[in-house]
Chain A
Amino acid sequence: MSGQTLTEKILSRASGKPVTQGDVIEASVDIVAFHDLTGYHVIEVMEKAGMVKVFDQGKIVVAFDHLAPPPDIRSAEIQGNIRKFVKDVKIPNFHDINVGILHELLVEKYAQPGQVIVAADSHTTTSGALGAFAQGMGASDIAAAAITGKTWLVAPSSFKVTLEGKPAKWISGKDVALKLLGDFKAEYFNGKSIEVEVKDPSSFPMDYRATASNMGIEMNADALMFIPDSETVRYVKQMRGYEPKLVTPDNDAKYEDNYTIELDKMEPLVAAPYSVDNVKTVSEVQGTPVDQVYIGSCTNGRLSDFEVAAKIMKGKKVKSRCIAIPASYEMFKEALEKGYINTLFEAGCIITYGTCGPCLGGHFGVAGPGEVIVSTSSRNFRGRMGSNESKTYLSGPAVAAASAVEGKISSPGDVM
Protein backbone atom coordinates (compact mmCIF):
# COMPACT_ATOMS: atom_id res chain seq x y z
CA MET A 1 0.00 0.00 0.00
CA SER A 2 1.34 3.39 -0.95
CA GLY A 3 1.70 6.26 1.48
CA GLN A 4 -0.89 8.88 2.25
CA THR A 5 -1.50 12.31 0.80
CA LEU A 6 -1.93 15.19 3.24
CA THR A 7 -5.70 14.97 2.73
CA GLU A 8 -5.77 11.22 3.47
CA LYS A 9 -3.50 11.66 6.46
CA ILE A 10 -5.63 14.39 8.03
CA LEU A 11 -8.95 12.65 7.37
CA SER A 12 -7.64 9.28 8.62
CA ARG A 13 -6.59 10.86 11.90
CA ALA A 14 -9.90 12.73 12.19
CA SER A 15 -12.05 9.66 11.49
CA GLY A 16 -9.94 7.11 13.32
CA LYS A 17 -9.47 4.77 10.34
CA PRO A 18 -7.53 4.72 7.06
CA VAL A 19 -9.33 6.89 4.52
CA THR A 20 -9.23 6.67 0.75
CA GLN A 21 -10.94 8.75 -1.89
CA GLY A 22 -14.73 8.41 -2.04
CA ASP A 23 -15.13 7.12 1.51
CA VAL A 24 -17.99 8.66 3.42
CA ILE A 25 -16.53 9.37 6.83
CA GLU A 26 -17.46 10.89 10.15
CA ALA A 27 -14.65 13.24 11.10
CA SER A 28 -13.90 14.86 14.44
CA VAL A 29 -13.45 18.59 14.00
CA ASP A 30 -10.75 20.68 15.67
CA ILE A 31 -12.32 24.09 15.14
CA VAL A 32 -15.90 25.15 14.39
CA ALA A 33 -16.34 28.80 13.45
CA PHE A 34 -18.95 31.29 12.32
CA HIS A 35 -19.39 35.01 11.85
CA ASP A 36 -22.24 37.46 12.28
CA LEU A 37 -24.06 36.98 8.98
CA THR A 38 -24.10 33.18 9.21
CA GLY A 39 -23.80 32.92 13.00
CA TYR A 40 -27.30 34.03 13.84
CA HIS A 41 -28.57 31.38 11.43
CA VAL A 42 -26.39 28.71 13.09
CA ILE A 43 -27.86 29.68 16.46
CA GLU A 44 -31.41 29.64 15.04
CA VAL A 45 -30.84 26.05 13.90
CA MET A 46 -29.55 25.09 17.36
CA GLU A 47 -32.58 26.71 18.97
CA LYS A 48 -35.01 24.93 16.64
CA ALA A 49 -33.27 21.64 17.42
CA GLY A 50 -33.57 22.44 21.12
CA MET A 51 -29.81 22.01 21.57
CA VAL A 52 -28.22 25.35 22.38
CA LYS A 53 -24.93 23.87 23.53
CA VAL A 54 -21.49 23.16 22.08
CA PHE A 55 -19.22 20.13 22.27
CA ASP A 56 -16.22 22.14 23.49
CA GLN A 57 -16.31 25.88 24.13
CA GLY A 58 -12.59 26.25 23.47
CA LYS A 59 -12.95 24.87 19.97
CA ILE A 60 -15.56 27.38 18.80
CA VAL A 61 -14.37 30.62 17.18
CA VAL A 62 -16.73 33.52 16.51
CA ALA A 63 -15.80 36.77 14.77
CA PHE A 64 -17.94 39.67 13.57
CA ASP A 65 -16.94 40.80 10.09
CA HIS A 66 -19.70 40.80 7.47
CA LEU A 67 -21.86 43.39 9.23
CA ALA A 68 -19.07 45.15 11.08
CA PRO A 69 -19.71 47.82 12.16
CA PRO A 70 -23.47 47.32 11.72
CA PRO A 71 -24.80 49.22 8.69
CA ASP A 72 -28.44 48.95 9.84
CA ILE A 73 -30.66 48.02 12.78
CA ARG A 74 -31.16 44.38 11.79
CA SER A 75 -27.37 43.89 11.61
CA ALA A 76 -26.98 45.35 15.09
CA GLU A 77 -29.75 43.04 16.31
CA ILE A 78 -28.03 40.01 14.72
CA GLN A 79 -24.77 40.88 16.46
CA GLY A 80 -26.59 41.45 19.76
CA ASN A 81 -28.17 38.00 19.55
CA ILE A 82 -24.80 36.36 18.91
CA ARG A 83 -23.13 38.28 21.76
CA LYS A 84 -25.80 36.88 24.07
CA PHE A 85 -25.21 33.34 22.77
CA VAL A 86 -21.46 33.67 23.22
CA LYS A 87 -21.99 34.84 26.80
CA ASP A 88 -24.62 32.20 27.65
CA VAL A 89 -22.66 29.30 26.16
CA LYS A 90 -19.36 30.70 27.51
CA ILE A 91 -17.29 30.86 24.34
CA PRO A 92 -13.88 32.40 25.05
CA ASN A 93 -12.74 32.80 21.44
CA PHE A 94 -15.09 35.60 20.51
CA HIS A 95 -13.92 38.58 18.44
CA ASP A 96 -16.17 41.60 18.29
CA ILE A 97 -16.17 44.20 15.49
CA ASN A 98 -12.78 45.65 16.41
CA VAL A 99 -10.64 42.56 15.74
CA GLY A 100 -10.92 41.38 12.17
CA ILE A 101 -12.24 39.10 9.46
CA LEU A 102 -12.90 35.52 10.61
CA HIS A 103 -10.66 33.74 8.07
CA GLU A 104 -7.78 36.09 8.75
CA LEU A 105 -8.12 35.50 12.51
CA LEU A 106 -8.19 31.73 11.99
CA VAL A 107 -4.86 32.02 10.13
CA GLU A 108 -3.33 34.48 12.59
CA LYS A 109 -4.43 32.82 15.83
CA TYR A 110 -5.98 29.38 15.56
CA ALA A 111 -5.40 27.08 12.56
CA GLN A 112 -2.75 24.35 12.84
CA PRO A 113 -1.27 21.97 10.28
CA GLY A 114 -3.26 18.74 10.13
CA GLN A 115 -6.45 20.07 11.68
CA VAL A 116 -9.99 19.70 10.39
CA ILE A 117 -11.68 23.11 10.46
CA VAL A 118 -15.27 23.79 9.49
CA ALA A 119 -16.94 27.18 9.46
CA ALA A 120 -20.16 28.71 8.24
CA ASP A 121 -18.55 30.54 5.35
CA SER A 122 -17.25 29.25 2.06
CA HIS A 123 -13.87 30.97 2.36
CA THR A 124 -12.92 28.72 5.27
CA THR A 125 -10.50 27.15 2.77
CA THR A 126 -8.18 30.06 3.70
CA SER A 127 -6.84 28.10 6.70
CA GLY A 128 -5.42 25.65 4.16
CA ALA A 129 -2.52 28.13 4.04
CA LEU A 130 -1.26 26.44 7.23
CA GLY A 131 -1.96 22.91 6.03
CA ALA A 132 -5.36 22.47 7.67
CA PHE A 133 -8.20 20.65 5.92
CA ALA A 134 -10.65 23.53 6.10
CA GLN A 135 -14.13 23.58 4.61
CA GLY A 136 -17.04 25.96 4.51
CA MET A 137 -20.51 24.61 5.24
CA GLY A 138 -24.05 25.88 5.68
CA ALA A 139 -25.67 26.89 8.96
CA SER A 140 -27.29 23.49 9.64
CA ASP A 141 -24.05 21.55 9.13
CA ILE A 142 -22.14 23.99 11.33
CA ALA A 143 -24.81 23.83 14.03
CA ALA A 144 -24.51 20.02 13.98
CA ALA A 145 -20.69 20.20 14.12
CA ALA A 146 -20.79 22.71 16.99
CA ILE A 147 -23.17 20.51 18.98
CA THR A 148 -21.52 17.14 18.32
CA GLY A 149 -17.88 17.95 17.45
CA LYS A 150 -18.26 15.82 14.34
CA THR A 151 -19.21 16.19 10.73
CA TRP A 152 -19.66 13.81 7.80
CA LEU A 153 -17.55 14.20 4.68
CA VAL A 154 -16.95 12.49 1.39
CA ALA A 155 -13.16 12.07 1.19
CA PRO A 156 -11.93 13.92 -1.91
CA SER A 157 -9.21 12.77 -4.27
CA SER A 158 -5.88 14.60 -3.95
CA PHE A 159 -4.42 16.72 -6.73
CA LYS A 160 -0.91 18.09 -6.40
CA VAL A 161 0.23 21.52 -7.53
CA THR A 162 3.90 22.41 -7.40
CA LEU A 163 5.08 26.01 -7.35
CA GLU A 164 8.54 26.44 -8.81
CA GLY A 165 10.87 29.42 -8.92
CA LYS A 166 10.46 32.86 -7.40
CA PRO A 167 7.42 34.96 -8.29
CA ALA A 168 7.99 37.38 -11.18
CA LYS A 169 7.63 41.08 -10.37
CA TRP A 170 4.11 42.04 -9.14
CA ILE A 171 3.08 38.37 -8.92
CA SER A 172 1.51 37.19 -5.66
CA GLY A 173 -0.98 34.66 -4.29
CA LYS A 174 -3.91 36.04 -6.28
CA ASP A 175 -2.18 35.42 -9.59
CA VAL A 176 -1.61 31.77 -8.65
CA ALA A 177 -5.30 31.38 -7.74
CA LEU A 178 -6.37 33.02 -10.99
CA LYS A 179 -3.88 30.92 -12.96
CA LEU A 180 -5.44 27.70 -11.60
CA LEU A 181 -8.95 29.04 -12.28
CA GLY A 182 -8.06 30.10 -15.82
CA ASP A 183 -6.27 26.88 -16.69
CA PHE A 184 -8.71 24.42 -15.11
CA LYS A 185 -11.98 26.42 -14.92
CA ALA A 186 -14.42 26.50 -12.03
CA GLU A 187 -15.67 22.92 -12.23
CA TYR A 188 -12.53 20.85 -12.54
CA PHE A 189 -11.59 20.56 -8.87
CA ASN A 190 -15.13 19.72 -7.68
CA GLY A 191 -14.68 16.74 -5.32
CA LYS A 192 -10.91 17.17 -5.23
CA SER A 193 -8.51 18.45 -2.62
CA ILE A 194 -5.60 20.52 -3.91
CA GLU A 195 -2.26 20.11 -2.13
CA VAL A 196 0.35 22.72 -2.99
CA GLU A 197 4.05 22.15 -2.57
CA VAL A 198 6.27 25.21 -2.66
CA LYS A 199 9.72 24.20 -3.90
CA ASP A 200 11.37 27.25 -2.36
CA PRO A 201 9.26 27.85 0.78
CA SER A 202 10.52 31.38 1.45
CA SER A 203 9.56 32.52 -2.06
CA PHE A 204 5.86 32.16 -1.38
CA PRO A 205 5.07 33.64 2.05
CA MET A 206 2.02 32.95 4.21
CA ASP A 207 0.13 36.02 2.92
CA TYR A 208 0.28 34.63 -0.61
CA ARG A 209 -0.67 31.15 0.59
CA ALA A 210 -3.71 32.48 2.43
CA THR A 211 -4.89 34.26 -0.73
CA ALA A 212 -4.49 31.16 -2.89
CA SER A 213 -6.14 28.88 -0.31
CA ASN A 214 -8.96 31.38 0.11
CA MET A 215 -9.87 31.00 -3.56
CA GLY A 216 -9.82 27.20 -3.39
CA ILE A 217 -13.59 27.49 -2.99
CA GLU A 218 -13.82 29.43 -6.26
CA MET A 219 -12.20 26.37 -7.86
CA ASN A 220 -14.91 24.31 -6.13
CA ALA A 221 -12.16 22.32 -4.44
CA ASP A 222 -12.98 20.57 -1.16
CA ALA A 223 -9.82 22.08 0.26
CA LEU A 224 -6.72 23.90 -0.96
CA MET A 225 -3.84 23.19 1.37
CA PHE A 226 -0.23 24.23 1.34
CA ILE A 227 1.98 21.37 2.45
CA PRO A 228 3.50 22.66 5.72
CA ASP A 229 7.17 23.62 5.47
CA SER A 230 9.73 26.04 6.92
CA GLU A 231 7.53 29.03 5.99
CA THR A 232 4.68 27.52 8.04
CA VAL A 233 7.04 27.24 11.02
CA ARG A 234 8.35 30.77 10.54
CA TYR A 235 4.85 32.25 10.37
CA VAL A 236 3.40 30.46 13.40
CA LYS A 237 6.50 31.27 15.44
CA GLN A 238 6.31 34.94 14.49
CA MET A 239 2.56 35.34 15.05
CA ARG A 240 2.06 33.04 18.04
CA GLY A 241 5.47 32.49 19.60
CA TYR A 242 5.71 28.70 19.25
CA GLU A 243 6.65 26.12 16.64
CA PRO A 244 3.80 24.11 15.12
CA LYS A 245 3.97 20.36 14.68
CA LEU A 246 4.11 19.72 10.94
CA VAL A 247 1.84 17.18 9.27
CA THR A 248 3.04 16.35 5.76
CA PRO A 249 2.19 13.78 3.07
CA ASP A 250 4.19 10.58 2.81
CA ASN A 251 6.97 10.58 0.22
CA ASP A 252 5.27 7.80 -1.74
CA ALA A 253 1.79 9.33 -1.59
CA LYS A 254 -0.26 8.80 -4.74
CA TYR A 255 -1.86 11.82 -6.36
CA GLU A 256 -4.64 11.76 -8.93
CA ASP A 257 -2.60 14.17 -11.03
CA ASN A 258 0.12 16.83 -10.86
CA TYR A 259 0.47 20.35 -12.18
CA THR A 260 3.43 22.70 -12.02
CA ILE A 261 3.33 26.49 -12.07
CA GLU A 262 6.53 28.35 -12.84
CA LEU A 263 6.21 31.49 -10.74
CA ASP A 264 9.03 33.31 -12.51
CA LYS A 265 7.23 33.08 -15.86
CA MET A 266 3.89 34.50 -14.73
CA GLU A 267 2.31 37.84 -15.59
CA PRO A 268 -0.40 39.64 -13.60
CA LEU A 269 -3.87 38.21 -14.20
CA VAL A 270 -7.44 39.42 -13.72
CA ALA A 271 -10.82 37.68 -13.69
CA ALA A 272 -13.26 39.61 -15.87
CA PRO A 273 -17.03 39.77 -15.19
CA TYR A 274 -19.02 37.74 -14.35
CA SER A 275 -17.02 34.65 -13.57
CA VAL A 276 -13.99 33.84 -11.44
CA ASP A 277 -12.61 31.63 -14.22
CA ASN A 278 -12.96 34.27 -16.96
CA VAL A 279 -9.24 34.90 -16.54
CA LYS A 280 -7.27 37.29 -18.73
CA THR A 281 -3.89 38.96 -18.64
CA VAL A 282 -3.95 42.60 -17.57
CA SER A 283 -2.87 43.65 -21.06
CA GLU A 284 -6.09 42.18 -22.49
CA VAL A 285 -8.33 44.49 -20.45
CA GLN A 286 -6.11 47.48 -19.66
CA GLY A 287 -7.60 50.91 -20.32
CA THR A 288 -11.09 49.95 -19.08
CA PRO A 289 -12.31 52.96 -17.02
CA VAL A 290 -12.71 52.13 -13.32
CA ASP A 291 -15.12 53.81 -10.87
CA GLN A 292 -13.97 52.14 -7.68
CA VAL A 293 -11.08 50.04 -6.43
CA TYR A 294 -11.26 47.83 -3.36
CA ILE A 295 -8.10 46.56 -1.70
CA GLY A 296 -8.89 44.21 1.18
CA SER A 297 -11.14 41.27 2.21
CA CYS A 298 -10.19 37.82 3.52
CA THR A 299 -8.58 37.27 0.12
CA ASN A 300 -6.13 40.19 -0.01
CA GLY A 301 -6.27 42.25 3.19
CA ARG A 302 -2.83 41.34 4.52
CA LEU A 303 0.38 43.22 5.13
CA SER A 304 2.07 42.32 1.84
CA ASP A 305 -1.03 43.55 -0.03
CA PHE A 306 -0.72 46.95 1.63
CA GLU A 307 3.01 46.99 1.15
CA VAL A 308 2.70 46.64 -2.63
CA ALA A 309 -0.25 49.06 -2.81
CA ALA A 310 1.76 51.68 -0.87
CA LYS A 311 4.77 51.15 -3.12
CA ILE A 312 2.62 51.90 -6.17
CA MET A 313 0.62 54.80 -4.67
CA LYS A 314 3.54 56.56 -2.96
CA GLY A 315 3.45 60.26 -3.84
CA LYS A 316 0.48 59.83 -6.20
CA LYS A 317 -3.24 60.61 -6.04
CA VAL A 318 -5.89 58.05 -6.95
CA LYS A 319 -8.15 58.91 -9.90
CA SER A 320 -10.90 56.45 -9.03
CA ARG A 321 -12.52 55.97 -5.61
CA CYS A 322 -10.33 53.65 -3.60
CA ILE A 323 -11.35 51.77 -0.47
CA ALA A 324 -8.61 50.00 1.49
CA ILE A 325 -9.44 47.59 4.32
CA PRO A 326 -6.75 45.62 6.16
CA ALA A 327 -8.31 42.32 7.23
CA SER A 328 -7.60 42.61 10.95
CA TYR A 329 -6.43 44.77 13.83
CA GLU A 330 -2.97 43.19 13.55
CA MET A 331 -2.74 43.90 9.82
CA PHE A 332 -3.96 47.48 10.28
CA LYS A 333 -1.51 48.07 13.12
CA GLU A 334 1.46 46.74 11.15
CA ALA A 335 0.46 48.65 8.02
CA LEU A 336 0.16 51.76 10.18
CA GLU A 337 3.59 51.25 11.77
CA LYS A 338 5.24 50.68 8.41
CA GLY A 339 3.67 53.82 6.95
CA TYR A 340 1.53 52.04 4.34
CA ILE A 341 -1.72 53.38 5.77
CA ASN A 342 -0.37 56.92 5.68
CA THR A 343 0.72 56.53 2.06
CA LEU A 344 -2.69 55.21 1.00
CA PHE A 345 -4.45 57.91 3.00
CA GLU A 346 -2.40 60.65 1.34
CA ALA A 347 -3.14 59.10 -2.05
CA GLY A 348 -6.84 59.62 -1.28
CA CYS A 349 -7.99 56.15 -0.16
CA ILE A 350 -10.78 55.62 2.35
CA ILE A 351 -9.44 53.32 5.06
CA THR A 352 -10.92 51.26 7.86
CA TYR A 353 -10.26 47.72 9.08
CA GLY A 354 -11.77 44.42 10.04
CA THR A 355 -14.84 44.39 7.81
CA CYS A 356 -15.88 42.37 4.76
CA GLY A 357 -17.84 45.45 3.64
CA PRO A 358 -17.68 45.91 -0.13
CA CYS A 359 -16.75 42.28 -0.96
CA LEU A 360 -20.37 41.14 -0.72
CA GLY A 361 -22.06 44.45 -1.42
CA GLY A 362 -22.59 44.87 2.31
CA HIS A 363 -21.50 48.41 3.04
CA PHE A 364 -18.52 50.77 2.72
CA GLY A 365 -18.72 50.85 -1.07
CA VAL A 366 -21.72 49.16 -2.64
CA ALA A 367 -21.51 49.24 -6.45
CA GLY A 368 -24.10 51.28 -8.35
CA PRO A 369 -25.66 50.48 -11.76
CA GLY A 370 -23.15 50.56 -14.59
CA GLU A 371 -20.14 50.97 -12.32
CA VAL A 372 -16.87 49.15 -12.91
CA ILE A 373 -14.96 47.88 -9.88
CA VAL A 374 -11.48 46.46 -9.61
CA SER A 375 -11.41 44.36 -6.45
CA THR A 376 -8.85 42.23 -4.68
CA SER A 377 -11.68 40.20 -3.15
CA SER A 378 -12.66 36.68 -4.19
CA ARG A 379 -15.74 36.88 -6.41
CA ASN A 380 -17.00 38.83 -9.38
CA PHE A 381 -20.40 37.16 -9.71
CA ARG A 382 -23.25 39.29 -11.08
CA GLY A 383 -24.59 41.55 -8.33
CA ARG A 384 -21.94 40.40 -5.85
CA MET A 385 -20.78 43.91 -4.95
CA GLY A 386 -24.13 45.65 -5.38
CA SER A 387 -26.07 46.42 -8.55
CA ASN A 388 -26.69 43.59 -11.03
CA GLU A 389 -25.56 46.05 -13.68
CA SER A 390 -22.17 46.68 -12.09
CA LYS A 391 -19.07 44.83 -13.22
CA THR A 392 -16.25 43.56 -11.04
CA TYR A 393 -12.76 42.66 -12.21
CA LEU A 394 -10.72 40.64 -9.71
CA SER A 395 -7.00 41.25 -9.39
CA GLY A 396 -4.08 41.15 -7.02
CA PRO A 397 -3.13 44.24 -5.01
CA ALA A 398 -0.56 45.53 -7.52
CA VAL A 399 -3.01 45.74 -10.43
CA ALA A 400 -5.71 47.15 -8.13
CA ALA A 401 -3.42 49.92 -6.85
CA ALA A 402 -2.18 50.77 -10.35
CA SER A 403 -5.78 50.88 -11.61
CA ALA A 404 -6.76 53.26 -8.78
CA VAL A 405 -3.87 55.57 -9.61
CA GLU A 406 -4.71 55.64 -13.33
CA GLY A 407 -8.51 55.52 -13.01
CA LYS A 408 -8.52 52.66 -15.50
CA ILE A 409 -7.34 49.06 -15.48
CA SER A 410 -3.56 49.30 -15.58
CA SER A 411 -0.46 47.24 -15.30
CA PRO A 412 1.67 48.06 -12.25
CA GLY A 413 4.73 48.51 -14.44
CA ASP A 414 3.01 51.40 -16.26
CA VAL A 415 2.65 53.59 -13.17
CA MET A 416 6.05 53.03 -11.59
Chain B
Amino acid sequence: MVEGQAMKFGDKIDTDIIIPARYLKYTDPKYLAEHAMEPLDPEFHKKASKGVILVAGKVFGMGSSREQAAMALKAAGVKAVVAESFARIFYRNAINNGLPVITVPNVTKEINEGDMVTVNVETGEVKVNGKVLKGKGITGMALEILNTGSLIDYLKRVSVKSTN
Protein backbone atom coordinates (compact mmCIF):
# COMPACT_ATOMS: atom_id res chain seq x y z
CA MET B 1 0.00 0.00 0.00
CA VAL B 2 1.43 3.40 -0.96
CA GLU B 3 0.00 6.82 -0.28
CA GLY B 4 0.64 10.37 -1.40
CA GLN B 5 -0.72 13.49 -3.01
CA ALA B 6 -1.43 13.37 -6.72
CA MET B 7 0.70 15.19 -9.28
CA LYS B 8 -1.15 15.09 -12.55
CA PHE B 9 0.06 14.93 -16.15
CA GLY B 10 -1.61 14.30 -19.50
CA ASP B 11 -1.28 11.74 -22.30
CA LYS B 12 1.93 10.61 -24.01
CA ILE B 13 4.43 11.75 -21.37
CA ASP B 14 7.56 10.54 -23.15
CA THR B 15 10.96 9.56 -21.82
CA ASP B 16 12.62 12.67 -23.28
CA ILE B 17 10.37 14.62 -20.89
CA ILE B 18 10.88 12.29 -17.94
CA ILE B 19 14.67 12.51 -18.23
CA PRO B 20 16.30 14.31 -21.20
CA ALA B 21 19.07 12.48 -23.08
CA ARG B 22 21.78 14.89 -21.93
CA TYR B 23 21.54 13.41 -18.41
CA LEU B 24 21.94 9.78 -19.46
CA LYS B 25 25.70 9.57 -19.02
CA TYR B 26 25.19 8.97 -15.30
CA THR B 27 23.07 6.63 -13.20
CA ASP B 28 23.38 8.40 -9.83
CA PRO B 29 19.77 8.58 -8.55
CA LYS B 30 20.25 11.97 -6.85
CA TYR B 31 21.57 13.53 -10.07
CA LEU B 32 18.74 12.00 -12.10
CA ALA B 33 16.11 13.13 -9.58
CA GLU B 34 17.13 16.77 -9.97
CA HIS B 35 16.35 16.62 -13.68
CA ALA B 36 13.17 14.51 -13.61
CA MET B 37 10.35 15.98 -15.74
CA GLU B 38 12.55 19.03 -16.27
CA PRO B 39 11.19 20.10 -19.70
CA LEU B 40 7.67 20.40 -18.26
CA ASP B 41 8.51 21.53 -14.73
CA PRO B 42 12.07 22.28 -13.56
CA GLU B 43 10.76 22.38 -9.96
CA PHE B 44 9.30 18.87 -10.21
CA HIS B 45 11.86 17.24 -7.92
CA LYS B 46 11.20 19.79 -5.18
CA LYS B 47 7.44 19.25 -5.36
CA ALA B 48 7.80 15.46 -5.53
CA SER B 49 10.30 15.19 -2.68
CA LYS B 50 7.59 14.88 -0.02
CA GLY B 51 6.43 11.65 -1.69
CA VAL B 52 3.77 11.79 -4.41
CA ILE B 53 1.63 9.60 -6.65
CA LEU B 54 2.03 10.48 -10.31
CA VAL B 55 -1.25 10.39 -12.21
CA ALA B 56 -1.15 10.40 -16.01
CA GLY B 57 -3.04 9.57 -19.19
CA LYS B 58 -2.21 7.24 -22.04
CA VAL B 59 1.09 5.47 -22.89
CA PHE B 60 3.03 6.98 -20.02
CA GLY B 61 6.77 6.56 -20.62
CA MET B 62 6.61 6.09 -24.37
CA GLY B 63 9.83 6.45 -26.33
CA SER B 64 13.32 5.51 -25.31
CA SER B 65 14.51 2.45 -23.38
CA ARG B 66 16.46 4.64 -20.93
CA GLU B 67 16.07 2.99 -17.55
CA GLN B 68 17.01 6.29 -15.93
CA ALA B 69 13.41 7.43 -16.58
CA ALA B 70 12.06 5.09 -13.91
CA MET B 71 15.08 5.70 -11.67
CA ALA B 72 14.67 9.49 -11.88
CA LEU B 73 10.99 9.45 -10.91
CA LYS B 74 11.55 7.09 -8.01
CA ALA B 75 14.55 9.06 -6.75
CA ALA B 76 12.60 12.33 -7.02
CA GLY B 77 10.00 10.97 -4.59
CA VAL B 78 7.38 9.35 -6.80
CA LYS B 79 5.93 6.43 -4.81
CA ALA B 80 3.82 5.04 -7.66
CA VAL B 81 2.66 5.96 -11.14
CA VAL B 82 -1.04 5.49 -11.87
CA ALA B 83 -1.80 5.90 -15.57
CA GLU B 84 -4.45 5.00 -18.12
CA SER B 85 -1.83 2.95 -19.97
CA PHE B 86 1.93 2.51 -19.97
CA ALA B 87 4.50 2.07 -22.70
CA ARG B 88 5.89 -1.46 -22.44
CA ILE B 89 9.56 -0.62 -21.90
CA PHE B 90 8.88 1.98 -19.20
CA TYR B 91 6.53 -0.41 -17.40
CA ARG B 92 9.26 -3.06 -17.22
CA ASN B 93 11.91 -0.54 -16.20
CA ALA B 94 9.67 0.71 -13.39
CA ILE B 95 9.11 -2.80 -12.01
CA ASN B 96 12.81 -3.59 -12.40
CA ASN B 97 13.65 -0.55 -10.27
CA GLY B 98 11.03 -1.02 -7.59
CA LEU B 99 8.64 1.71 -8.77
CA PRO B 100 5.00 0.52 -8.62
CA VAL B 101 3.02 1.13 -11.82
CA ILE B 102 -0.76 0.69 -11.87
CA THR B 103 -2.99 0.86 -14.93
CA VAL B 104 -6.39 2.46 -14.23
CA PRO B 105 -8.82 3.31 -17.05
CA ASN B 106 -9.98 6.96 -17.14
CA VAL B 107 -7.93 7.79 -14.06
CA THR B 108 -7.22 11.37 -15.19
CA LYS B 109 -10.97 12.08 -14.95
CA GLU B 110 -11.21 10.73 -11.41
CA ILE B 111 -8.19 12.26 -9.71
CA ASN B 112 -7.32 15.95 -9.38
CA GLU B 113 -3.99 17.58 -8.72
CA GLY B 114 -3.29 17.48 -4.99
CA ASP B 115 -5.85 14.76 -4.10
CA MET B 116 -4.71 12.30 -1.45
CA VAL B 117 -4.40 8.92 -3.17
CA THR B 118 -3.93 5.44 -1.71
CA VAL B 119 -2.75 2.66 -4.02
CA ASN B 120 -2.91 -1.07 -3.38
CA VAL B 121 -0.09 -2.28 -5.58
CA GLU B 122 -1.19 -5.92 -5.66
CA THR B 123 -4.95 -5.53 -6.23
CA GLY B 124 -4.65 -2.37 -8.30
CA GLU B 125 -7.27 -0.61 -6.18
CA VAL B 126 -6.85 3.14 -5.96
CA LYS B 127 -8.68 5.05 -3.22
CA VAL B 128 -9.38 8.73 -3.80
CA ASN B 129 -12.08 11.16 -2.60
CA GLY B 130 -13.97 8.33 -0.87
CA LYS B 131 -14.13 6.34 -4.11
CA VAL B 132 -12.38 3.13 -5.07
CA LEU B 133 -11.05 2.91 -8.64
CA LYS B 134 -10.38 -0.55 -10.00
CA GLY B 135 -7.04 -0.88 -11.75
CA LYS B 136 -4.64 -3.59 -12.82
CA GLY B 137 -2.32 -4.58 -10.01
CA ILE B 138 1.10 -6.18 -10.16
CA THR B 139 1.20 -9.96 -9.81
CA GLY B 140 3.36 -12.99 -10.46
CA MET B 141 7.03 -12.62 -11.27
CA ALA B 142 6.66 -8.84 -11.69
CA LEU B 143 5.44 -8.60 -8.09
CA GLU B 144 8.33 -10.76 -6.90
CA ILE B 145 10.80 -8.43 -8.65
CA LEU B 146 9.07 -5.35 -7.27
CA ASN B 147 9.05 -6.74 -3.73
CA THR B 148 12.70 -7.76 -3.97
CA GLY B 149 13.47 -4.12 -4.72
CA SER B 150 14.99 -4.45 -8.17
CA LEU B 151 15.71 -6.89 -10.97
CA ILE B 152 19.36 -6.88 -9.86
CA ASP B 153 18.43 -8.12 -6.40
CA TYR B 154 15.98 -10.62 -7.88
CA LEU B 155 18.71 -11.96 -10.19
CA LYS B 156 21.09 -12.31 -7.27
CA ARG B 157 18.47 -14.23 -5.30
CA VAL B 158 17.62 -16.54 -8.21
CA SER B 159 21.30 -17.10 -8.88
CA VAL B 160 21.97 -18.01 -5.22
CA LYS B 161 18.99 -20.41 -5.28
CA SER B 162 20.17 -22.12 -8.45
CA THR B 163 23.70 -22.65 -7.15
CA ASN B 164 22.54 -24.05 -3.80
Contact = CB atoms under 8 A, between A and B. Distances in A.
Interface of A: 24, 37-38, 41, 44-45, 48-51, 67, 74-75, 78, 120-122, 124, 135-141, 143-144, 147, 152, 186-187, 190-191, 217-218, 220, 222, 275, 360-362, 379, 381-384, 388
10 contacts: A24-B140, A45-B151, A49-B155, A122-B65, A138-B65, A141-B151, A362-B21, A379-B63, A381-B17, A383-B39
Most A-side CB within 10 Å, residue of B12, B64, B150: B64
Contact of B65 (A74, A137, A143): A137
B21 A361 contact: yes
A217 B65 CA distance: 10
A15 B92 CA distance: 19
B152 A48 contact: yes
A144 B96 CA distance: 11
Nearest to A36: B25
B106 to A, nearest CB: 14
Interface residues of B, number: 40
Given A122-B89, A140-B97, A41 B67 contact: yes
A186 B59 contact: yes
B133 interface: no
Given A38-B66, A44-B27, A144-B155, A382 B16 contact: yes
B62 interface: yes
Contacts of A140: 67, 93, 96-97, 150-152
B161 interface: no
B92 A74 contact: no
Given A138-B92, A191-B88, A41 B156 contact: no
Contacts, number: 116
Nearest to B13: A381
A137 B92 contact: yes
Contacts of B92: 137-138, 141
B96 A383 contact: no
Interface in B73-97: 85, 87-89, 92-93, 96-97
Nearest to B96: A140
A103 B22 CA distance: 21
Interface in B87-126: 87-89, 92-93, 96-97
B144 to A, nearest CB: 11
A51 B155 contact: yes
Nearest to A277: B12
B7 interface: no
A187 B93 contact: no
Contacts of A124: 65
B17 A138 contact: no
A151 to B, nearest CB: 10
A384 B12 CA distance: 14
Contacts of A136: 65, 89
Nearest to A151: B92
A67 to B, nearest CB: 8
Contacts of A139: 65, 67
Given A122-B64, A136-B65, A381-B63, A49 B96 contact: no
A37 B27 CA distance: 11
A191 B87 CA distance: 9
B159 interface: yes
Given A122-B65, A141-B96, A381-B16, A37 B155 contact: no
A48 B159 CA distance: 13
A49 B70 CA distance: 19
A48 B154 CA distance: 12
B163 to A, nearest CB: 11
Contacts of B27: 41, 44
B65 A120 contact: yes
B137 interface: no
B88 to A, nearest CB: 6
Contacts of A50: 156
Given A122-B64, A140-B152, A384-B21, 19 more contacts: A38-B67, A49-B155, A50-B156, A67-B25, A74-B25, A78-B25, A138-B70, A144-B151, A186-B59, A187-B58, A190-B87, A217-B63, A220-B59, A360-B16, A361-B20, A362-B21, A379-B63, A384-B16, A388-B39
A261 B159 CA distance: 49
B34 interface: no
A148 to B, nearest CB: 8
